Amino acid sequence: MDSGENGVVRRRAAQAASTRAEIVMAAGKLMLERGYVGTSVSAIAGEAGVVVQTIYNSVGSKAELLAAVLDRVAAEPGAPALLSGATRERIAAARTATEVIRIVARSSALVNERTSGILRIVSEAAVVDPDVGEFEQKRDAARLHGFGEVATALREKRGLRAGLIYSGGLSDHEAAAAMWALAHPHTFRTLVLSLGWSTEAYLNWLEKSLLAALL
């Protein structure tokens, strides 16, 4: 393939990526305004300035649109993934288990704050759309797996509560489950959005609770 053909391929790929981004942004805007059920694929197409078939070709089904919206929101600056590459590096460089927990607490708070709106839509959509329900279960499983990696890091730093399980010690699986429950987005939404806690108060509570539960 000559340089001219390469240029055409690159331009087409860039155009496809731009179109996909516009579709995902339009879907997020309308879903937050109207809810999942109240947002049709045709309405998203109109908002993005494309035909409906372009949405299916570029992103996929309505459930896949919602997944793409959540991924875009979570990836924005200020809301790193729970175990993004940078977070893994900070955990590996941490000198103590306490420092690891503080890193995880802050990362979880940032992600929960940034994605709270769209995750509310995910929970509502899961009730009426089996595909979204399956997607939500997969994300919960992925979150639990990520916390399993944190539990391993805590044990390697000799910070995870030791001893026999029946006498108060924690297995890695139990530690991961404790982190998953305490840092779950539903907990954030209840405390911050429903009960009026500040994000700072939530972060302080999460950090203290993780320290008390795990170390």
Q: What are phi and psi of 10, to 5 degrees?
A: -65, -40
Would you state the structure tokens that stand for residue 190, as one six-digit string? 């209840």
Q: Whole-angstrom Cα distance, residue 144 to residue 24? A: 27
Instruction: Read off the pLDDT of residues 100-130 as tens digits, 9 standing for 90 and up.
Output: 999 999 999 988 888 888 888 888 888 888 9
Q: Whole-angstrom Cα distance, residue 181 to residue 169? A: 18
Instruction: Read off the pLDDT of residues 69-108 as tens digits, 9 standing for 90 and up.
Output: 888 876 665 444 556 677 888 888 889 999 999 999 999 9
pTM score of the predicted model: 0.75
First to last CA, the chain: 59
**C-alpha separations of 47 from 25, 30, 141 in Å:** 9, 8, 33
Residue spans of beta strands (DSSP E) within 52-174:
none
pLDDT average, residue stretch 173-192: 94
Q: What burial class does residue 185 get, using C-beta atoms within 10 Å of its C-beta: 0-12 exposed, 13-18 middle, 19+ buried?
A: buried
Contact between residue 143 and residue 177 where contact means Cβ atoms under 8 Å apart: no
| Predicted local confidence at residue 151, as pLDDT | 92
47: pLDDT strictly greater than 80: yes
Q: Average pLDDT over the chain, rounded to whole?
A: 86
Instruction: Read off the pLDDT of residues 27-43 as tens digits, 9 standing for 90 and up.
Output: 989 998 898 999 999 99
| Predicted local confidence at residue 164, as pLDDT | 46
Q: What are phi and psi of 198, to 5 degrees?
A: -80, 160
Q: Whole-angstrom Cα distance, residue 78 to residue 99? A: 20
- What percent of the chain has a predicted confidence (pLDDT) above 70? 89
Q: Whole-angstrom Cα distance, residue 85 to residue 89? A: 6
Give the confidence band of 8 by pLDDT, cuts at 50, 70, 90.
Answer: confident
Would you state the structure tokens that stand for residue 130, as one six-digit string? 């089996």
Q: Whole-angstrom Cα distance, residue 64 to residue 69? A: 9
